[in-house]
């Protein structure tokens, strides 16, 4: 199949990655594409078009956290690895996540009220139910992106930039983050396309293989030719993610379980994007996009792509039952990779 | 692209039908297929493979309601057209829907407790909030399929079959419904594949063009060679849907608005299936499946497919904005047809 065009936008080549089976037939099918890249940029494995663009969404968070380290803010304020991990998180809004975000804000002399990420109930259902019971509505701190936003505020405070403008796509912080993404992901200036993320900060679109390359270099803890402070930041962010996988997502979540059960770092994002990388030799990074953005297809597709790289993924992710309203199993979601 | 196989199941050929655009790029894309068929079975227009199987899900409800009429039950119990319409519904659980379902049950001497469709909160958010406020949990009557289940019970009572067994795939009622679907949709015996629907009754998978054919014949109010009682039932169900579009879905719903604004009958279903048909000459039926099952792609895809048949769809369905948590627009869902 060749590329299909819609207006000014290209729809990249893809292939079936997961399906919902009902009875003896496939009822619905999810397509996707992935690229596996080594730290030098060589594509080791791929499905679909590795050059097709992808919005990184929350998979960009480890890169968005790099300025926190290389600016000197993390050292100046004495951030712990747990706090650096929650800066890379799409967290569940569980108590430990909130405590880490609050600690970041406290260290830099700010409060919850300085967060501009909008709000949604905690992703962790028991935490959401507890909050509902108190009669409080969800606040920005409960949003899965609050650690990222707190870290962005911290960099502004350290650099002497107006923290109120931390989301401004034309401001100094977002410019620094964009250049960091370009460097780590090996994309020429202008090659990263900006749009708005769900939490109100710029989100980055770039070739799928560039996203995978960034993760390969994150897993390697740097890359030759990178400034020392950038490589040191990659190393510290990587180790914070490896040491505190719970802080990256939380109870029952794919990224957390993958990092606990393998030598990977992993970070998924909205509209069913996923990135992971091997922190052991040989280093490689993988970026995956379920073309239709369906969350239910992410785990089966990711597990399938990782299995092809020889990664033994903890059981229980690749298939899940489909039940009727009476609780009887009538189908299952399965990987096609 | 040729057909891709997964295990014993075939994934039918399809093409892009809708997309989510973020910034200047397509972030996610939904593929689909449709077939437009005249009452004689000729395929007038199609996208993707018209012979590929599709689970009809709730789009089967008008056919599942036919025995209610041709068995004589509707006349014997004095069912109104509103009640026949709610038997064809995936209703919102609004007060008028519940009243119609209760009336069906009352006429045949049964009650809510005889419904076996499982439960979920009313699809209509204000009705769900009102129910939550009373402290009551959702019951089977609130489920979008309760009209269908009530009608199935009514046929059993009329025919002297045990109403407790109305869901049994091997029982007389479900056998009668299966043969009715085969006849109306022009599928040879054995050509319809059975599986379990979300509400615990058998669901039918058949070629997409067969689903479209059934709707063409429903819109025509019968077909030459059909027994008179079947043609009369098609006519009565069609007219009940046309006369009471609110009962088929409810406030703000696609099927209701389509029927109110055009000469169509329309019935969508779970996993993003859709069927509609032209009740004016020339009669035709369309069946559409969004391959990945995404509800957000159903309206743009359906509107696109209908526009190709010259149907002017009421405004406001084909695109919808994508907003961030702060309420700012960052993209939109758009048709690709």
> Any idea of the CA torsion for A86, A90, A96, A101, to the nearest 10 degrees?
50
Average pLDDT over residues B177-181: 98
Tell which residue, B299, B287, B296, has the closest CA to residue B33.
B287
Nearest CA in chain A to B33: A28
pLDDT score of A130: 92
Q: Give the nearest partner residue to A194 out of B6, B19, B23, using CB atoms.
A: B23
φ/ψ of B43, rounded to 5, equals: -80, 115
> Any idea of the CA torsion for A273, A278, A284, A286, to the nearest 10 degrees?
-10
Tell which residue, B169, B8, B60, has the closest CA to residue A330.
B169
CB contact under 8 A, B272 and A28: yes
> Any idea of the CA torsion for B17, A299, A244, A267, to the nearest 10 degrees?
-30
pLDDT score of A150: 98
CB A155 within 8 A of CB A67: yes
Tell which residue, A14, A298, A335, A21, has the closest CA to residue B271.
A21
CATH of domain A5-335: 3.40.710
Name the DSSP letter for residue B137: P
Nearest CA in chain B to A204: B23
Q: Give the nearest partner residue to B9 out of A26, A31, A193, using CB atoms.
A: A26
Give the tens place of pLDDT for each residue, B48-94.
Answer: 999 999 999 999 999 999 999 999 999 999 999 999 999 999 999 99
Domain layout of chain A by residue ranges: 5-335
Nearest CA in chain A to B2: A1
Please list the pLDDT of chain A residue by residue as tens digits (337 residues). 334 444 445 799 999 999 999 999 999 999 999 999 999 999 999 999 999 999 999 999 999 999 999 999 999 999 999 999 999 999 999 999 999 999 999 999 999 999 999 989 999 999 999 998 898 889 999 999 999 999 999 999 999 999 999 999 999 999 999 999 999 999 999 999 999 999 999 999 999 999 999 999 999 999 999 999 999 999 999 999 999 999 999 999 999 999 999 999 999 999 999 999 999 999 999 999 999 999 999 999 999 999 999 998 877 778 889 999 988 999 999 999 8
Beta bridge partners of A274: A268, A288
CB contact under 8 A, A6 and B19: yes
What CA–CA distance (Å, rounded) separates A150 from A158? 12
Query: B292 to chain A: which residues are within 8 Å by CB?
Result: 28-31, 292, 294, 297
> Helix H segments across chain A?
61-64, 66-70, 73-77, 81-87, 95-107, 125-134, 146-159, 172-185, 208-219, 228-243, 245-248, 254-261, 298-308
CB contact under 8 A, B9 and A25: yes
CB contact under 8 A, B200 and A20: no
Q: Which helix (H) or strand (E) holds B84?
A: helix B81-87
CB contact under 8 A, A294 and B294: yes
Q: Give the nearest partner residue to B325 out of A143, A324, A325, using CB atoms.
A: A143
What CA–CA distance (Å, rounded) separates B60 from A209? 44
Number of Cβ within a 10 Å radius of residue B48: 21
* Cα–Cα distance list, B241 to A110, B39, B219, B247 (Å): 59, 19, 10, 8
Give the tens place of pLDDT for each residue, B89-118.
Answer: 999 999 999 999 999 999 999 999 999 999
Give the tens place of pLDDT for each residue, B228-287.
Answer: 999 999 999 999 999 999 999 999 999 999 999 999 999 999 999 999 999 999 999 999
> Helix H segments across B108-244?
125-134, 146-159, 172-185, 208-220, 228-243
Q: Give the nearest partner residue to A293 out of B20, B143, B198, using CB atoms.
A: B20
CB B311 within 8 A of CB B296: no
pLDDT score of A313: 83
Q: How far is Cα of residue B141 from the mean position of the Cα atoms in its chain?
A: 18
CB A56 within 8 A of CB A74: no
CB contact under 8 A, B22 and A293: no
User: What distance in Å separates residue A38's CA from the closest CA in chain B?
Assistant: 25
The pTM is what?
0.94
Average pLDDT over residues B144-159: 98
Query: A3 to chain B: which residues are within 8 Å by CB?
Result: none
Q: What token pair was written down for B247?
A: 């009962």
What CA–CA distance (Å, rounded) separates A202 from A204? 7
User: What distance in Å separates residue A324's CA from the closest CA in chain B?
Assistant: 4
């Amino acid at each position: 199949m060749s590329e299909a065009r819609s207006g000014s936008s290209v729809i990249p080549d893809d292939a079936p990655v997961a399906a919902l089976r009902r009875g003896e037939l496939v009822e619905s099918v999810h397509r996707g594409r992935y690229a596996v890249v080594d730290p030098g940029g060589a594509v080791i494995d791929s499905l679909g078009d590795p050059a097709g663009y992808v919005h990184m969404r929350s998979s960009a968070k480890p890169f968005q956290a790099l300025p926190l380290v290389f600016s000197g803010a993390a050292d100046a304020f004495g951030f712990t690895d747990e706090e650096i991990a929650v800066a890379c998180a799409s967290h569940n809004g569980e108590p430990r996540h909130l405590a880490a975000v609050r600690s970041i804000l406290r260290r830099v002399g700010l409060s919850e009220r300085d967060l501009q990420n909008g709000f949604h109930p905690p992703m962790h259902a028991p935490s959401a139910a507890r909050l509902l019971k108190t009669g409080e509505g969800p606040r920005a701190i409960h949003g899965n992106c609050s650690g990222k936003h707190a870290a962005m505020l911290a960099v502004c405070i350290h650099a002497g930039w107006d923290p109120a403008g931390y989301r401004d796509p034309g401001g100094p912080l977002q410019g620094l983050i964009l250049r960091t993404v370009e460097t780590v992901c090996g994309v020429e200036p202008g090659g990263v396309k900006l749009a708005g993320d769900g939490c109100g900060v710029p989100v980055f679109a770039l070739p799928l293989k560039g996203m995978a390359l960034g993760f390969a270099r994150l897993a390697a803890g740097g890359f030759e030719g990178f400034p020392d402070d950038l490589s040191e930041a990659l190393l510290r962010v990587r180790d914070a993610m490896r040491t505190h996988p719970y802080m990256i997502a939380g109870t029952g979540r794919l990224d957390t379980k993958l990092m606990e059960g393998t030598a990977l770092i992993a970070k998924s994002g909205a509209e069913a994007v996923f990135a992971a990388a091997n922190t052991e030799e040989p280093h490689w990074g993988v970026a995956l996009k379920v073309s239709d953005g369906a969350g239910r297809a992410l785990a089966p597709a990711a597990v399938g792509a990782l299995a092809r790289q020889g990664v033994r993924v903890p059981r229980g992710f690749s298939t899940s039952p489909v039940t009727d309203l009476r609780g009887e199993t009538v189908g299952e979601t399965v990987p096609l990779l």
